[in-house]
Structure 1
Amino acid sequence: MSKTLEASIDVAAPPEKVWAVVSDLKRMGEWSPQCRKMKVFGGDVRKGTTTLNINRKGFLVWPTTAKVIEFAPNKSIAFRIVENKMIWSYTLTPTASGTTVVEKREAPNGTSAISRFLIDKALGGTEQLDVELVDGMNKTLQRIKAASEHG
């Protein structure tokens, strides 16, 4: 089973403003260093929405698909990657000065055999990838912070 990865940041903006940024999955390519694009199907994002994602690491480019499994406006959004069963989520908590945003990657039911093989053979192994993903989460959150506070 893959371990849970997590990063958080404090944003000097109310949850409603941060939510407008976080829940706009079409803009994920602006925030994430690995997920370069998310194409949202079916109009507005809500529980059940599906996406096609284009991911990149160096010269490697690969598609994935996702389904939104949690959607609580101004509070949380989560989507499951179909191919590897990973769940990515963003949780917003109001604070006295704005909002704390937590990004997580979880695999409560483990991951697929093909995903484990590709992580080992093409993405540098689990330990290296986990470090890169947490670094990417921190970059993503910095970009979400900047867009929420100044955008």
Structure 2
Amino acid sequence: MNVEIPRLEHQIEIDAPPAKVWELISDVRRMNEWSPQVTSTRLRAGYDTVALGTEFTNRNQHQGQEWTTHATIVRFEPEQALAFRVAENGMVWAYELTPLGDSGTLLTQRREAPEGVSELAAGFVESHLGGAGTFMPAVAAGGRETLEALKAAAEAP
């Protein structure tokens, strides 16, 4: 049985073209530079580049707890969209780029669980991460922080 969770979505306008924003988000190995929850990302053995089907491992942290997740790139459309599915909880994290004028980008970050979250994953949140009432707001805040960090990096000279 799976547990339903709310979809998260954040957007930010970036004063940089989609190509520059894509350069940053398309290399998931750099996610620890933007996300306050991710401490490291490594491509799984056998993968040298990030593309559709690439598998990778994240080390995550929250309030002194650390855990590992495994993900697969499920959407990879250069300068348009990147999405990955986390094996342990079924979450899909997506980033979509929309051109704004001649040199800007609207970056949308979305997290959804199309099939719900497993009871095992929900139980881990309850037993190790302070419960949904604490962890989910932290995830939402982390999503906003991630977009702010991406914006700063893309707009840097």
TM-score if structure 2 supplies the norm length? 0.93
1:40-61 Cα deviation digits (max 9, x unpaired):
2311111100001100012101
CA distance in 2 between partners of 1:147 and 1:81 (Å): 25
* Aligned equivalent of 2:62: 57
Which residue of 58, 62, 75 corresponds with 1:70?
75
Which residue of 123, 132, 136 corresponds with 2:138?
132
Gapped regions of structure 2 (runs ≥ 5): none
Residue 89 of structure 1 and its aligned partner are, at CA, apart by 0.8
2:53 paired with 1:48: yes
Paired positions, count: 151
Gapped regions of structure 1 (runs ≥ 5): none
Which residue of 19, 23, 26 corresponds with 2:26?
23
TM-score if structure 1 supplies the norm length? 0.96
Aligned identity (percent) is: 38
In terms of mean alpha carbon deviation, does 11-20 or 129-138 score higher?
Answer: 129-138
CA distance in 1 between partners of 2:70 and 2:88 (Å): 7
CA distance in 2 between partners of 1:58 and 1:131 (Å): 13
Residue 127 of structure 1 and its aligned partner are, at CA, apart by 2.9
Q: What is the SS of the residue equivalent to 2:71? A: strand
Which residue of 122, 126, 135 corresponds with 2:128?
122
Q: Which amino acid in 1 is paired with 2:22?
A: W
User: Runs in 1 of length 4+ with deviation above 3 angstroms?
Assistant: none
| 8 A Cα contact 1:5 1:130, kept in partner | no
Task: State the Cα RMSD in Å.
Answer: 1.1
| 8 A Cα contact 2:60 2:68, kept in partner | yes
CA distance in 2 between partners of 1:47 and 1:14 (Å): 23
